[in-house]
A and B are shown apart, each in its own frame.
Chain A
């Protein structure tokens, strides 16, 4: 079950992400759960604490504790900023001290609708045509898709580190780090 998107929107988003970062010899966006990252961002305030900043200092992948799973609490100002970014300003004066903001939730709702309810079932060529016809939305999804593909798995994407392993990137290496010879040798 998606956190914030509808099932139909989620299905479309999965197809969009797979088109942007397709599977080839290594996993693509679907295998890496990139749409879950984006859905998790849009629904970050469905969780307590909100899933904005993963904790520290280690994830446990190279030793240490699983600190990334303990998300930071937000201050009132942090919450104002992130709710405005995600939900938009919605005419609330405290969110519009420098003017209105259209939130990502509205951007995705409108953008996914514009691609058409049948997008997931379209041929790749047709998907490509529609994405290029809505290029500013496609750029937004791509920015987030890159984060969901290659960011820490605790945010919902990069499932099981597949984004990193597919490109030979070790990820968060604390507390192991790298030895002096690993730093200095080829």
Chain B
């Protein structure tokens, strides 16, 4: 049996490719190493009922996977630290049918024109491989519009003065603003910033047969109990209902098989633990920017840049405490407002960059939102006689508001994914090892923008503010050096020159063109926006090229 395409990974990238290919009549098998909790695979017109408002299950018991015991990753900040300094969960996104789409709170901004032309626009940075993408925003815009419709995105065209041009409106209007976001947006506006309703993959109205979001608040970390979230459920469901696709969950692809410079299929291990093979005309790899280079390396692909240029978004997390205000952060879709100003260089940021000896500097999109989960809160307080009083007063949840900047992360050849020399997954395969530390650009940008974000919270009346970064800087009350952004990009870079990139502008491996990478691995630069919509748009473009 030979299928038209094997897709490895059922997240937003793989789901988009499946949707496009099956609509064109291609036969597709989607391999997903995680479990299925999304769709009734016996009758794909029905959705599953496994997701719930359950903090234990989703935050502490790895319901969406990967389980760090079964599938650990390893980490170090540099080769001087030895083989590794940490084994466990390293910036993983869910391993489940729907992939990273299931757990996100669904902010899906587009990149801007300049994000595809960083080298031409801003120039190089010492020690970083800043480059232009092999495509422009104009090339991608039709596919942005396409995947916004497929996923179901709410937003307000024109609300963000810095946004790239759009060929049409958002498919849905914005949902209700969270109380805290209305306050912090007003405060930011007073200080000259430009907050706007976050483009969201959450239904503000019934859409595509699924209901409107009812604001339950269990959004980040959680699968949506009512399927109002634009995780890739709609795309996977369409692919399955077409009759042209099959999803095989709990099935790990261990190797892409090749012969004569072309892929012929894959080897896989199903839930029974038996290794089998399946042949295909095309193999689409969409495992995310850690598992995708891992599979290419396990398969023996030897381009020297596979795994290089790992980017994560360096987060600057600014929190403020408000003794006289409760934000009821548990109501709503976690983040309803954002602002982009730190991505637009101004006189102050240019001066800060120059003072630090950097040619230029950009921050990232700023998310307005507070913490909402009581178990996570409880673990922050000390045990003992004050515990209950703290929980009732809630200085670190209900009286806290936060601004989180997803800082642009420069591509460095030394930041990489490779195979750990000795740590194995439960099936006996080498796990991914991440070697990562931020460039000075990220730290300078964080140091510049952090206090400005704190000033917004202070103008809103915060009694105290605190600024940390993830990964930590190693100074003061530092966060761990293992990044926690869940935004992972760049490890199978796209470009026109086969010596400087692994795949071309359509995600095809330069040396094995019937292998297509359809996830954020292909990103050339990271921008400061979440990667989901851009990776889905790129996947739609690649798949459309395949079907002609």
Question: How many residues on the A side are at the interface (Cβ–Cβ under 8 A)?
Answer: 65
A81/B392 contact (C-beta < 8 A), A56-B50, A151-B55, A172-B53 known: no
CB-contacts of B365-415 with A (<8 A): 374-375, 378-379, 383-385, 387-389, 391-392, 394
CB-contacts of B30-86 with A (<8 A): 35, 49-57, 60-63, 67, 69-70, 72
A172/B218 contact (C-beta < 8 A), A56-B54, A143-B379, A150-B375 known: yes
Chain A residues with CB under 8 Å of B392's CB are 26, 166-168
A57 B375 Cβ-Cβ under 8 A:
no
Chain A residues with CB under 8 Å of B513's CB are none
Docked complex Cα distance between A65 and B317 (Å): 38
Chain B residues with CB under 8 Å of A184's CB are 176-179, 182
Query: Which residue of chain A is the closest to B336 with respect to CB atoms?
Result: A183
Interface centre among A54, A80, A151 (most CB of B within 10 A): A151
A43 within 8 A of B: no
A169/B385 contact (C-beta < 8 A), A55-B52, A67-B49, A183-B332 known: no
A147 within 8 A of B: yes
Chain B residues with CB under 8 Å of A186's CB are 179, 326
Chain A residues with CB under 8 Å of B214's CB are 174-178
A81/B70 contact (C-beta < 8 A), A21-B388, A147-B375, A184-B177 known: yes
Query: Which residue of chain B is the closest to A72 with respect to CB atoms?
Result: B50
A183 B60 Cβ-Cβ under 8 A:
no
Per-position 1/0 for A53-64, Cβ under 8 A of B: 111111100000
Chain A residues with CB under 8 Å of B374's CB are 150, 163-164, 167, 169
Chain A residues with CB under 8 Å of B424's CB are 97-98
A1 within 8 A of B: no
Q: Which of B225, B328, B389, B426 contacts A56 (CB 8 A)?
A: B225
B61 A53 Cβ-Cβ under 8 A:
yes
Docked complex Cα distance between A75 and B394 (Å): 38
A53 B384 Cβ-Cβ under 8 A:
no
A155/B56 contact (C-beta < 8 A), A84-B69, A97-B426, A183-B178 known: yes
Q: How far is the CB of B129 from chain A (nearest CB, A)?
A: 33
Per-position 1/0 for B190-233, Cβ under 8 A of A: 00000000000000000000000111111000000110000000
Q: How far is the CB of A159 from chain B (nearest CB, A)?
A: 15
Query: Which residue of chain A is the closest to B381 with respect to CB atoms?
Result: A146
B50 A57 Cβ-Cβ under 8 A:
yes
Per-position 1/0 for A92-115, Cβ under 8 A of B: 000001100100000000000000
Q: Which of A53, A146, A167, A173 contacts B394 (CB 8 A)?
A: A167
Docked complex Cα distance between A182 and B374 (Å): 19
A178/B216 contact (C-beta < 8 A), A21-B383, A183-B177 known: yes
Query: Which residue of chain A is the closest to B325 with respect to CB atoms?
Result: A186
Chain A residues with CB under 8 Å of B387's CB are 20-22
B271 within 8 A of A: yes
B70 A28 Cβ-Cβ under 8 A:
no
Query: Which residue of chain A is the closest to B428 with respect to CB atoms?
Result: A97
Query: Which residue of chain B is the closest to A152 with respect to CB atoms?
Result: B54
Docked complex Cα distance between A146 and B374 (Å): 9
A80/B426 contact (C-beta < 8 A), A68-B52, A184-B177 known: yes
Q: Which of B56, B72, B87, B379 contacts A152 (CB 8 A)?
A: B56
B63 A85 Cβ-Cβ under 8 A:
no
B423 within 8 A of A: yes
B115 within 8 A of A: no
Chain A residues with CB under 8 Å of B67's CB are 77-78, 81
A167 B179 Cβ-Cβ under 8 A:
no
Chain B residues with CB under 8 Å of A152's CB are 54-57
B49 A24 Cβ-Cβ under 8 A:
no
Q: How far is the CB of B433 from chain A (nearest CB, A)?
A: 13
A185/B179 contact (C-beta < 8 A), A24-B389, A26-B392, A54-B52 known: yes
Docked complex Cα distance between A179 and B425 (Å): 45
Interface centre among A75, A150, A179 (most CB of B within 10 A): A150
Interface centre among B35, B56, B273, B385 (most CB of A within 10 A): B56
B179 A172 Cβ-Cβ under 8 A:
no
A contact set with B: CB distance below 8 Å: 19-26, 28, 52-59, 67-68, 72, 75-78, 80-81, 84-85, 97-98, 101, 128, 138, 142-143, 145-147, 149-152, 155, 163-164, 166-180, 182-186
Q: List 10 A-B contacts (CB under 8 A).
A: A24-B385, A54-B57, A57-B50, A80-B426, A98-B87, A145-B383, A146-B378, A150-B55, A167-B394, A174-B214
